[in-house]
Amino acid sequence: MQVSDYLQYLRTVRRLSEHTIISYGHDLQVFLDFLKERNLSCADVTFPDARRFIASLVYQSKRSTVTINRMLSSLRGFYRYAITHQWCSHNPFSRIETSPRRRRLPEVLSRQEILEILSRPIQTFFDLRDAVMLHLFYSTGCRLAELLQSNVEDIDLGEQRMMVRGKGSRQRFVFINPPTQLLLEQYLAQRQLFVATHQVQHSTDSQALLLGKRGNRLSASTVHSIFERYRLQLGMQKRFTPHMLRHSFATHMLDNNSGIRIVQELLGHASVSTTQIYTHVSAQRLRSVYEQSHPHGRKEHGNTRNDDHSSSER
């Protein structure tokens, strides 16, 4: 009962996304299973018990640092809520520090790869839907969940923009470029015919921007299947995911001298520190260009200097 109350608080007061709430619920269930094995209640847990639980995650379950840090966050939050509601008198996880982790640089597609992805032939309504989806990911930089919950009414073709609902139900506008707008106009016209033909006008998903084959709102699992199919068709050896298009959007914007604050707003990041990881990607790209373009920056610069000396002697 306490856990369900806490999850409802996250949903209605904190207004966290359903995906986050599911993750927190899973974390708390793992903890409750641990307590059940030891005949402990949440109020009985001591600091040594909390340390034993974290140790079990590391050495028995072999969970990653990212997962353990998230579980710590879930449990700290739960106990803060429990103390407020006088279910517990102390937070046994307050003294356990999260493990530092090395932040991986996001994977980014090249502009040529983007061009190939966005140039796939369109023959059917669902080809058109997929093209619209891919163009929107790259032209707006929105998250998968943001695009999937978007409705037709969120599109403003006159202003070439779309309203999306981000984390914490924060709303923002993202912008649609001309090629994407052209595809959207074609798609919306064909979508209207599809809805009428398949009699989904009164469905709860009837206003969804991206529709599945049964007229329902497109699901995340279907999107990942579409991306995998495209990856195989294009012969890509690396992963291909919606978030890679978001990463590519941000990196290419910074490569074209867009300010980091602008990119932060477009991505919907609450803090600019989250956006700064893309500056590292751009810095790597700058170094790559430098090493290939500057005579003394090349890996084989020793040979270049010899050639220069030879030519000067001649």
Active site residues: 143, 167, 243, 246, 269, 278
CA 282/CA 270 separation, integer angstroms: 21
- The rounded distance, in Å, linking the Cα atoms of 165 and 261 is 19
Residue 9, both tokens: 């608080």
Distance CA 217, CA 93 (A): 40
Residues 6+ apart with CB under 8 A from 129: 187, 191, 210, 211, 218
Q: How does 235-256 read in b/e, with b if 16+ C-beta sit within 10 Å? A: ebeeebbbebbbbbbbbbbbbe
CB 98 within 8 A of CB 72: yes
